[in-house]
A and B are shown apart, each in its own frame.
Chain A
Amino acid sequence: MENIEIKGEKTEFFIPTVNFNAETGVCEIAGESYLEETFEFYQKLIDWLNQYTSQGKKTLIFNCKLTYFNTASSKAILEILRLLKNYQESGADVKINWFYHEWDDDMKMEVEDLGLDADVKIDLLTF
């Protein structure tokens, strides 16, 4: 299974940096997310996660370091969190870490609401 490595950029839209590693199970998304085709972009990540989680009960660590994402992106991120929740319920070891800036009360609120909707534990850590 191949890794996903996307280098983020901010020339027109804001493409996040993505590193999903199939050997270590560490999946990281960072930067800012505001895309032309939001659902297409995230579908690739969701497909990868579906493949990874269908290969037994390998550990998965999801590190979210997004400092900005628009509302369309948040809908896709919720889908990822739900997928992780299902994987966790199937008995796999899943850890979700969310990094945010201490001043960013809006991000903290957003992550709390995403955690509620996906019914999954998210550990909030400061940068």
Chain B
Amino acid sequence: MTNKINIFDYYMDFEENNVIIYYKGPFIETILAKISEDIKSRFDTDPLTSKKIFSIFIELAQNIAHHSAERNVFGEARIKISGNGTFQLSESDEYFTLVSGNLIRNEDVPEIIDKCNTVNELDIEGLRKLKRDLRNLPRREGHKGANIGLVDIAIKAQNPLRVEVTPINEDFSYFIISVDVSKTSKAE
């Protein structure tokens, strides 16, 4: 193999783009808890922005843990299955940017793009209404979440969701979602 990944190039890319946190691997709780704590302590001078970043991270991470098409199975006595994915937090002068990436099945692509488009067409009042409507639906059998993560992300960020889907093969695509949080964010 000659085309080895160059760790130094990675490092320089991250430095140039002001990447604060980058994680790739299984989205298991022990790791998520540590990343959460890191986010909270890092931005403790601006509690509202810090909480927005933390809340959005948790919803993105749960999406990966529950829905990533790339699964890991841990343990023998008590088997835990979790999704694999990538999370990145970076900053520019005006924004913090959160990005998540994971594999999805091609048949799930239209639904997820639909959801994101719906969210992006709404203003804050429309998003609050949609969140309430979704929360009022009955619990979904076999689902752990409330299915309102993306709506909540848009409410907290007060910025549109950017979505990128890259087909890999006939079964899978790579799904990237990113969102900005303004450094001077104020809820309306």
Contacts and interface: CB of A to CB of B under 8 A. Distances in A.
Given A75-B139, A109-B128, A116-B132, A103 B47 contact: yes
A113 B152 CA distance: 13
B187 A72 contact: no
Interface residues of B, number: 30
Contacts of A71: 59, 131, 135, 145-146, 148-149, 152
Interface string A86-127: 000000000000000101111011000100110000000000
B51 A104 contact: yes
B29 interface: yes
B4 interface: no
Q: Which of A38, A39, A106 has the most CB of B within 10 A?
A: A106
Interface string A3-22: 00000001111100000000
Contact of A68 (B30, B51, B136, B148): B51
Contacts of A39: 139, 144
Interface residues of A, number: 27
A103 B135 contact: no
A50 interface: no
B132 A34 contact: no
Contact of B145 (A14, A72, A113): A72
B33 A11 contact: yes
6 contacts: A70-B55, A70-B59, A72-B144, A72-B145, A78-B136, A109-B155
Given A75-B139, A109-B187, 4 more contacts: A11-B33, A71-B59, A74-B146, A104-B51
Smallest CB-CB A-B distances: 6 pairs: A105-B187, A12-B29, A75-B146, A71-B148, A71-B146, A72-B146
